[in-house]
Amino acid sequence: MQQCPGDTRTNVTGVPTVSDGCSSVAVSYSDVVSNGCAATKTVWRTWTATDACGNTTNGLQIISVIDTTKPTFTCPRVSVQCVTDIPAPYADLTSFLAAGGTATDSCSSVLAFSQISDSGLVGRCPGTVTRVYRVTDVCGNFAECTQTITVDDTIPPVLICPTNLIVQCGFSVDPTNTGWATATDNCSTNVPVAYSDAFVQSIYNYNINFMLPIPPTVQGLASRPMPGFRRPASLARTFLVSPVGPRTRSGMPLLSGRQLTNWQP
């Protein structure tokens, strides 16, 4: 008994042994073949031994070539970005093979193809579709493969922001006034857009302390408000000189008119 495709030549299946008490023996054979499914068959091989005097003896050898081996079958691997990219189930073996699947059989040149199940899309980000296919050879042996299609959108949306604006104080910065961003996506036709704001407050300092630019003969510290001086953070500017010169009764520096006139806040 051999598995298909088999080899029924005598050097594979064997020859009989014969003996005769008087002469040499000639051995011959004849076959009767009954074909089965695909390349399977049964061979009835009749052996005949003939001695020099014409005496004959016959013997029967039965050789069976069978097929109990299932086909070799693999599903193509598929990964897509979007639900709309999921391919349709394969309608036949030709489209299955064109997509990258394989199906071979050692005995049958023709295989019957069918789809057994389809789970539909399960889950999201990623989601999967599971399909089971089957091929069956002429002798009824079948093989199945499971195809898992992965659906995973890994491409972020494209966001287009409105142009930068400079507005007057008190102007509403609601997006209905300043403009909405727009977004497009490879998978979604309607992409929701949200926003968040971070406000940076302006700071005005009205009490900046600094040293008056008085002559080096006088030492003292004075302060004067500077309304409208805009700064992002507190600022202190200090000038220090060596004191030499007259003082008032209170101990504060005595400033000349010329010195005050030359000072610009």
Asked whether the beta carbons of 4 and 38 are under 8 A apart, the reply is yes
Task: Specify the 3-state DSSP secondary structure of 85.
Answer: helix
- Domain edge (last residue) among 199, 214, 230: 199
Same domain, 110 and 136: yes
Q: How many domains does the chain have?
A: 4
- Domain edge (last residue) among 151, 184, 214: 151
Same domain, 78 and 130: yes
pLDDT digits (tens, 9 = 90+) for 221-262: 444 444 444 433 222 212 222 233 333 333 444 433 333 333
Asked whether the beta carbons of 78 and 151 are under 8 A apart, the reply is no
Same domain, 128 and 60: no
Same domain, 192 and 216: no
Same domain, 110 and 83: yes
What is the pLDDT, as a whole number, of residue 165? 86
Backbone conformation region of residue 73, classed left if phi is above 0, alpha if psi is from -120 to 50, else beta: beta
What residues make up the domain containing 109? 72-151
pTM score of the predicted model: 0.66
Same domain, 93 and 144: yes
pLDDT > 90? residue 195: no
What is the pLDDT, as a whole number, of residue 249? 36
Same domain, 137 and 80: yes
104 occurs within a structural domain: yes
CA distance 114 to 91: 8
For strand 112-122 and strand 56-66, is the pairing parallel, antiparallel, or unpaired? unpaired
Asked whether the beta carbons of 201 and 230 are under 8 A apart, the reply is no
131 occurs within a structural domain: yes
Same domain, 118 and 145: yes
Same domain, 145 and 100: yes
What are 5's two structure tokens? 């495709």
251 occurs within a structural domain: no
Same domain, 210 and 188: no
80 occurs within a structural domain: yes
pLDDT digits (tens, 9 = 90+) for 172-193: 888 888 888 889 999 988 888 8
264 occurs within a structural domain: no
Same domain, 102 and 145: yes
Close Cβ partners of 207 (under 8 Å, ≥ 6 residues apart) = 223, 225
262 occurs within a structural domain: no
46 occurs within a structural domain: yes
Same domain, 136 and 187: no
pLDDT > 50? residue 212: no
Higher pLDDT among residues 215 and 133, named by residue: 133
137 occurs within a structural domain: yes
